[in-house]
Amino acid sequence: MSDRSSRPSRSLRAFASTPSLLLAAALAAGSCVPSPAERAQAVVRDVQSARTLGAAIDSAAEGFGVPREVLLALSHAESGWGGPSEQDEHAGEPGSLHAPAEVGPMHLRHGAGFDSIARAIALLQTTDQELRANLGLQVAGAAAVLAELGEQTGARPDNVDSWARAVAKYSGLVGESVQADYADRVWHGIRHGLRERVFTGETLELSPTPGPTARELIGVSQTSQASTDYGPALWVPASTSNYSGTRSGRVQFIVIHTMQGSYSGSISWFQNPSAQASAHYMVRSSDGQITQMVRESANAWHAGNSYLNNNSIGIEHEGFVMDPGRWYTDAMYMASARLTRMLCDRYGVPIDRAHIIGHYQVPRSGSGAPCGVTATTCGGAGGHTDPGNGGTQWDWDRFLTMVRNNGTAPPPVPAYDATLVGSSYPMTAEPGTRPVAWVEYRNTGSATWDVTNTRLGTTGPRDRSSPFFDMVNWVNASRPSAVDRATAPGAVGRFSFVLNIPNVATETMYTETFGLVQEGRTWFGPADNAVSFRIRVVPPIAPRPDGGAPTDSGVAPAMDSGAGDPPADGGGERPAPIDSGVGAEDGGSGVPLPGDSGPPRADSGVARDTGTVRDPSGCGCSTVGTSAIDPRALSVVALGFAAMLGRRRKR
């Protein structure tokens, strides 16, 4: 949405934007059609007061008769609709890698083929200082320059495609083919559309308009020459004044740079013989396009250190060190990594931080080894800090991984993923017992598992009701447990739960499978059958012939549907729930009792429960599996207690 609060009056807008009225006014003044300079003076005061990029573009489009679509697409191609970035104080000086500071969101520049800054100052009758200080003037200056170029190339206000030649010349590049490449990039936004939040706060949108490419509109059939050193790259030679024809050393290092400017502006700068600087390769931010400007066999002047110049390849990346989030795109990383891998293979350069270095690691002088990865006092003769403000904003780990993978990005880490660590469960159990089981997984995703929604679920099929469902301990019939505690990426999480062994008349083998699920999101982790419990359920031992009670099974009794409540008639006791604390001599510490830690009991073949289960009350406590207390043991304790009291009385 554009800010229209500072638009000119209706009469001024009509005067500025209607060709017939412009002609009438010009004839009344005894002149021909008003020039861009005359139109600039009619609207500059209004455009100068614009507070947003959208408002400035709208006013400039009407005032200068340049289609709004052209101004939107050109500004996005140049700056990505990002705000102004801090410039190198030595930019534009002879020997500086960085082009003279570009001006405004449309990047007015001192180009080798065309100086749009000088022309904008002349058309607006302003100063360089005023132009750099005001957003409205910057947009008006670009529109005024385009209007003038449009008049020279036959562009019409009502025909967007007629502006392709004017845009190509606006680039400031030398050579018709490379100018057409620039216009093609601008027309990409027109053809495919744009929508993005801009640095002045509003969201700008450009609807897609199908049609031919800018190159087709201009009529340039010959594409830019391909590089002979690196096939995917274009070849646009730097001025021969900006590099040495041959190198005296051998390639041992790859130096990573940031342009501190735009792709087109930097190419134009290296075409300028006064630059006295160059790099071998240039990488564009938006799509990773690569342009080679100096042959690999030649000595590009990029490092600010003659030894490194002679023994390295320099790669420049579009953007600014203080705005890496906008400029250091995936496309640029991947394209640069593929190029770097090719160079490492060709010249035997090790893929490490001692040989693939940032400009900030180049020694100020001499032939010593590069400075360390945390250097703050190097950066070549100019004390550069690129890429990414002392290297801190350039993702070196990611970049070197991509170089090793030949320019392919490692697959993104999913939010939820896991590997199986282990599990524990009883292989044999009696009906009515409630042994504890657990499964452990390592969190290999990027999200932390939470105790509410990260759960173990039944599989084969998923969400199947389990015959081992425990109404007190389980979440529901298909969810044995949530993770016991929050588990960060890389940590191991345990899912512990009770198995309520079902009643069977004859020996029965059960197979239970489980998997991980993030409720409301996704199932994840190993295959559905990776966790498989095979449990043999053996009926209880028959009563003794003398009519006594059955042999103690050594496992806790099952929880029945009464959930541990006493019968209504107050009669015989029901078994206590496993988490009720009954008989838990250690108060629920989760430490197995001495009698429960041994091998399986001879009378039942079922190991006592020694695991930890969750408290159904939700308090986070735990208890140890219990069994009936042997009355004989109680008798021994009572006799010992009586003897102790007797000794005290005798004293």
With a cut of 50, say whether residue 328 has pLDDT above it. yes
Alpha helices in 259-391 (DSSP H): 263-271, 306-310, 324-327, 330-347
Q: What is the pLDDT of residues 224-263, one digit of tens each?
A: 788 999 999 999 999 999 999 889 899 999 999 999 889 9
Please give the mean pLDDT across all residues of the chain. 81
Give the C-alpha separation, 498 to 473, whole Å: 6
Buried b / exposed e along 465-488 (16+ C-beta atoms within 10 A): ebbbbbebbbbebbbbbbbbeebe
Distances (CA, A) of 602 to 546, 554, 598, 625: 20, 10, 11, 18
Identity (one letter) of the amino acid at 146? L
Q: Is the peptide bond before 567 cis (omega within 30 degrees of 0)?
A: no
Closest CA to 96 of 322, 303, 317: 303
Residue-level pLDDT at 47: 81
Higher pLDDT, 357 or 651: 357
Q: What is the pLDDT of residues 64-118, one digit of tens each?
A: 999 999 999 999 999 888 877 655 544 555 555 566 788 999 999 988 889 999 9
Handedness of CA 113, 115, 120, 123 (dihedral sign): negative
Percent of the chain with pLDDT over 70: 74
SS3 299: strand
Backbone angles phi, psi at 524, to 5 degrees: -155, 175
Can you tell me the mean pLDDT for 623-649?
A: 51
Give the C-alpha separation, 551 to 85, whole Å: 84
**Residue 571: CB atoms within 10 Å:** 8
Do residues 236 and 177 lie in contact, with contact meaning Cβ atoms separated by under 8 Å? no
Residue 532: burial class (beta carbons within 10 Å; 0-12, 13-18, 19+): middle
Buried b / exposed e along 348-362 (16+ C-beta atoms within 10 A): ebeeebebbbbbbbb
Residue-level pLDDT at 28: 43
Closest CA to 317 of 12, 97, 612, 113: 97
Contacts (Cβ under 8 Å, ≥6 apart) of 405: 337
Give the C-alpha separation, 531 to 294, whole Å: 59
Residue-level pLDDT at 550: 54
Measure CA 249 to chain center. Answer: 39
Structural domains in the chain, CATH included, are: 10-218 (no CATH), 234-404 (3.40.80.10)
Give the C-alpha separation, 315 to 343, whole Å: 11
Query: Helices 330-347 and 396-404: crossing angle, nearest 10°?
Result: 60
3-state secondary structure 28-41: HCCCCCCCHHHHHH
Can you tell me the mean pLDDT for 295-299?
A: 96
Residue-level pLDDT at 37: 61
Identify the DSSP state of 549.
P
Give the C-alpha separation, 408 to 411, whole Å: 9
Identify the DSSP state of 161.
G
Query: Helices 36-48 and 135-153: crossing angle, nearest 10°?
Result: 160
SS3 317: strand
Give the C-alpha separation, 18 to 327, whole Å: 39
With a cut of 90, say whether residue 325 has pLDDT above it. no
Do residues 143 and 59 lie in contact, with contact meaning Cβ atoms separated by under 8 Å? no
Backbone angles phi, psi at 360, to 5 degrees: -65, -15
Do residues 123 and 145 lie in contact, with contact meaning Cβ atoms separated by under 8 Å? yes
Identity (one letter) of the amino acid at 327? W
Pull the structure tokens for residue 48.
């100068």
Question: In which element (H, E) is residue 577 found?
Answer: none
Backbone angles phi, psi at 118, to 5 degrees: -60, -40
Do residues 403 and 335 lie in contact, with contact meaning Cβ atoms separated by under 8 Å? no
With a cut of 60, say whether residue 2 has pLDDT above it. no
Give the C-alpha separation, 525 to 190, whole Å: 44
Identify the DSSP state of 483.
-
Q: What is the pLDDT of residues 183-216, one digit of tens each?
A: 999 999 999 999 999 989 999 999 999 999 999 9
Distances (CA, A) of 564 to 497, 558, 559, 561, 623: 18, 10, 7, 8, 16
Do residues 481 and 496 lie in contact, with contact meaning Cβ atoms separated by under 8 Å? yes
With a cut of 70, say whether residue 576 has pLDDT above it. no
Q: What is the pLDDT of residues 524-569, one digit of tens each?
A: 999 999 999 999 999 987 665 665 555 544 444 443 433 334 333 3
Handedness of CA 346, 350, 356, 361 (dihedral sign): negative
Identity (one letter) of the amino acid at 230? Y
